[in-house]
Amino acid sequence: MSWITARRRHPAATYAVLAFVLVLIGVGYAVVTTGGAATAAPQATASAAQIAEGHQLFEESCSSCHGIFAEGVSGQAPSLIGVGAAAVDFQVGTGRMPLAENSAEADRKTVRFTKAQIAALAAYIQSLGGGPPIPSAAQVNPGAGNYGLGQQLFVADCAACHNFVGAGGALTYGKYAPPLTASTPTQIYEAMLTGPEAMPVFNDLTITPQQKRDIIAYVTQVRSQPNPGGFSLGRVGPVTEGLVAFLGLLLFLVLAALWITAKHGKAHE
Amino acid sequence: MSNTNPPDSGDTAWQEYLTGGGASAGAAAAGGEGAAPPEGPAAPHRVIGTPPPAAARTMLPASGDGGARPPARELPPDPDDPVRARKAEFVVVACFLLAMLAGLGFLVAYGLIGVGSVTATLHSNLALGLTLAAALLLLAIGAVVWVRHLMPTVELTEQRHPMASDAKDKRAFKETWEEGAETSQFVKRPIVRRSLIAATVPLGIAPLFLLRDLGPLPGTSLDTTVWRKGLRLMTYGTNPPRPITPAEFSSPGGLISVGPEGYLDDDDAMAKAAVIIIKFRPGELQFAPGWRPVANKVVQNWTVDNIVAYSKICTHVGCPAALYEQTTHHILCPCHQSTFDATQGARVIFGPATRPLPQLPIGIDSQGFLIATGGFAVPVGPSFWERS
């Protein structure tokens, strides 16, 4: 401590403390903002018992917002008639539903239901008014897709919001396009098919199932591409670190210049 | 010291050069010729470009000044603290030796690490950069420590002297210049002079010709795109591109990027002709009556079955504006957050753009595919001066 006491009135002490705190905040932020989780998607095969179970689950967990007949509540929650099993599997399977709060964007969070329960809910909603079904495992197999073709389509129609490697991006009024890093192939397919929240709909006639498979192949394959690392702004590269290093060096040079030209008042006072 | 010079002409000249005007008295004493530069051997022609014989060439007052100020020594000969000075000397020498090693390392790295592959080039760049940076940095640190710890810290005041050359120098320069012009035959032989000028004239004009590469002027090419009546809207990004029917593009909230049939691989054409089509639910679009564009309204006759086509090129600075929120019907440009309302003819509701995204008139051909029924009514992309 005497070391600090002796130097705290040094001309450079303010700059040193400032630099130290800035580095501390930067490192702390980098540590805090890392994380993520993955979930698996269920298979849907409707049966009367499943639909009954789904109906009960719906009345318990969903009807308070979506209405007892899933008809929707104006200004609160949309009608679920005709949204299809794919929408249920996506929304509940990514933990977005049940909604935690009425925010601009529903976040991916811990899934509240088991796979069997999600399948039952999906079967019930499907029985109400049809809609897009949950895609089969073969439909979403990334191995059957051409990720080169998928990239062309992704860049044309998806990258504007989701970033060219699926890192996500901001929209208006607090909404955002989520990163696709944790999405399963089934969830990617369902999202294109149903257009959750602000996302446009890409039905199977406009973007064919084969093209959707290409896109899934690209989105899943690009995750394993070499990443230069750091806070890379969606694979743009370690630009942020470069900026920090640049500013840090600039600060160092300013301090060095101050030190070099400082009056050396030890002997000739 | 000039007062003690021997009467030797060469030595006198050297002394005069060193001490400048202060030597004139000595030169006069030696031969009496110092005041007449052109003649005496003691005062030769000055060579252009050499330092002037300024009166105060040293910081100490010249001895011929009259002794108004005693030539007292201002700078202390040694640092106050010899122990600290020893330490500083050690640091300086260490820095300089390390800088030498880093410099040698640079040479060795250049010789040892090739640039045959990408990886080798990366390693070579890293090694060369590090050694060079270390050498320069250590030199700088050594120099700074030297200055701060071994040299005295005394503020010196140096008088400012007039910068204009004196009459003697000006005269000497004029003589040298005229003599050079004469002896080089530049004046006497006009044919040489004129041919030299003739030789340089084309070179002087050449840069003007490079200005041509700034053109050609865009003319009317910014006003129009390749879209014309009858061109099909083809999906962009698919291989091969496909035409679209309203029956396929039937999901409300749908969006897809399209381009003009036959131009999807033409980047120059696509740079202006990129289009997005959006499908709306009945009643969402706010239509304008009639066939012409009306402010903040969609032209109904330019839509098919609640499908609207807008230019994908932002009217601010031309980024692809393709972020579409199907809940709010906002089209967002990712570059500067210009936001357009797709239900109201893509009018600007936020951001720096000043014009709505131009709407492309679309219809259906005999086979049921979406086609353009004409080009854009207004120029797409950023505004420009000559815009009609």
Q: What pLDDT was estimated at residue B180? A: 92
Is residue B331 within 8 A of residue B342, CB to CB? The reply is yes
Q: Are residues B308 and B360 in the same domain?
A: yes
Residue A244 falls inside a structural domain: no
Q: What pLDDT was estimated at residue A33? A: 64
Q: Are residues B174 and B140 in the same domain?
A: no
Q: What pLDDT was estimated at residue A27? A: 83
Q: Which residue has the tokens 């696709």?
A: A180
Distance CA B255, CA B93 (A): 71
Q: Are residues A56 and A87 in the same domain?
A: yes
Q: Can you read off the two tokens belonging to residue A31?
A: 């540590």
Does A156 sit within 8 Å of B237, measured CB to CB? yes
Domain boundary among A131, A146, A179: A131
Is residue A121 within 8 A of residue A59, CB to CB? The reply is no
Q: Are residues B368 and B249 in the same domain?
A: yes
Q: Are residues A188 and A204 in the same domain?
A: yes
Which residues, in sequence order, are CB contacts of B363 under 8 Å at separation 6+? B304, B370, B371, B372, B373
The CATH number given to whatever domain includes residue A85 is: 1.10.760.10
Best mutation site among B264, B324, B337, B339 for testing chain A: the one with the most A CBs within 10 Å? B324
Q: What pLDDT was estimated at residue B48? A: 62
Nearest CA in chain B to A202: B254
Does B253 sit within 8 Å of A206, measured CB to CB? no
What Rg value do the Cα atoms of chain A yield, rounded?
A: 26
Best mutation site among A151, A154, A172, A263 for testing chain B: the one with the most B CBs within 10 Å? A172
Q: Are residues B52 and B115 in the same domain?
A: no
Q: Are residues A127 and A177 in the same domain?
A: no
Instruction: Write the pLDDT tens digit of every residue in A202-242.
Output: 999 889 999 999 999 999 999 888 777 777 777 888 888 89
Q: What pLDDT was estimated at residue B249? A: 92
Q: Are residues B45 and B129 in the same domain?
A: no
Is residue B109 within 8 A of residue B127, CB to CB? The reply is yes
Q: What pLDDT was estimated at residue A129? A: 82
Q: Are residues B193 and B283 in the same domain?
A: no
Does A268 sit within 8 Å of B152, measured CB to CB? yes
The CATH number given to whatever domain includes residue B318 is: 2.102.10.10
Q: Are residues B272 and B361 in the same domain?
A: yes
Does A149 sit within 8 Å of B254, measured CB to CB? no
Q: Are residues A51 and A125 in the same domain?
A: yes
Query: Which stretches of chain A drop beneath a pLDDT of 70?
Result: 1, 33-46, 264-269
Type of residue at B83:
V
Residue B213 falls inside a structural domain: no
Best mutation site among B325, B340, B348 for testing chain A: the one with the most A CBs within 10 Å? B325
Contacts of residue A260 in chain B, CB cutoff 8 Å? 144, 147-148
Contacts of residue B337 in chain A, CB cutoff 8 Å? 172
Contacts of residue A257 in chain B, CB cutoff 8 Å? none
Distance CA B250, CA B258 (A): 16
Q: How far is B36 from chain A (nearest CA, A)?
A: 48
Residue A1 falls inside a structural domain: no
Does B152 sit within 8 Å of A157, measured CB to CB? no
Domain range for A104 is: 38-131
Burial of A161 per CB tally in 10 Å (0-12, 13-18, 19+): buried
Distance CA A134, CA A126 (A): 10
Q: What pLDDT was estimated at residue B372? A: 95
Residue B222 falls inside a structural domain: no
CB-CB: which of A154, A172, A206 is closest to B325? A172
Q: Are residues B89 and B141 in the same domain?
A: yes
Residue B378 falls inside a structural domain: no
Residue A33 falls inside a structural domain: no
Q: Are residues A174 and A116 in the same domain?
A: no
Residue B220 falls inside a structural domain: no
CB-CB: which of B81, B244, B253 is closest to A200? B253
Nearest CA in chain B to A132: B251
Task: Return the number of CB contacts < 8 Å for A and B.
Answer: 95
Query: Which stretches of chain B drop beneath a pLDDT of 70?
Result: 1-74, 388
Distance CA A176, CA A170 (A): 4
Q: How many domains does chain A have?
A: 2
Residue B178 falls inside a structural domain: yes
Does B320 sit within 8 Å of A205, measured CB to CB? no
Q: How far is A76 from chain B (nearest CA, A)?
A: 14
CB-CB: which of B154, B256, B332 is closest to A268? B154
Instruction: Write the pLDDT tens digit of every residue in B160-184.
Output: 888 888 899 999 999 999 999 889 9
Domain boundary among A131, A152, A171: A131
Q: Which residue has the tokens 């709909």?
A: A201
Q: Are residues A43 and A107 in the same domain?
A: yes
Q: How many domains does chain B have?
A: 4
Handedness of CA B372, B375, B378, B383 (dihedral sign): positive
Q: Are residues B50 and B90 in the same domain?
A: no
Q: What pLDDT was estimated at residue B37? A: 45
Which residues, in sequence order, are CB contacts of B107 under 8 Å at separation 6+? none
Residue A47 falls inside a structural domain: yes
Supply the ipTM of this predicted assembly.
Answer: 0.73
Residue A16 falls inside a structural domain: no
CB-CB: which of B236, B254, B322 is closest to A160? B322
Residue B223 falls inside a structural domain: no
Distances (CA, A) of A29 to A33, A229, A233, A269, B109: 6, 16, 15, 46, 38
Residue B290 falls inside a structural domain: yes
Contacts of residue A161 in chain B, CB cutoff 8 Å? 323
State the first-to-last Cα distance of chain A, in angstroms, to the nearest integer. 29
Does B81 sit within 8 Å of A260, measured CB to CB? no
Residue A263 falls inside a structural domain: no
Q: Are residues B256 and B365 in the same domain?
A: yes
Nearest CA in chain B to A197: B327
Residue A32 falls inside a structural domain: no
Residue closest to A186 by CA, chosen among A80, A110, A87: A87
Domain boundary among A131, A152, A179: A131
Domain range for B178 is: 166-198
Residue closest to B378 by CA, chosen among B363, B364, B360: B360
Nearest CA in chain A to B350: A172
Does B323 sit within 8 Å of A195, measured CB to CB? no
Does B330 sit within 8 Å of A211, measured CB to CB? no
Distance CA B279, CA A200 (A): 9
Distance CA A180, CA A187 (A): 10
Best mutation site among A79, A206, A212, A252 for testing chain B: the one with the most B CBs within 10 Å? A206
Distances (CA, A) of B205 to A71, B31, B162, B210, B214: 80, 57, 41, 10, 16
Residue B325 falls inside a structural domain: yes
Burial of A205 per CB tally in 10 Å (0-12, 13-18, 19+): middle
CB-CB: which of A155, A206, A267 is closest to B254? A206
Q: Can you read off the two tokens belonging to residue B12?
A: 């006198």
CB-CB: which of B238, B247, B254 is closest to A200? B254
Q: Can you read off the two tokens belonging to residue B333?
A: 């440009």
Residue A265 falls inside a structural domain: no
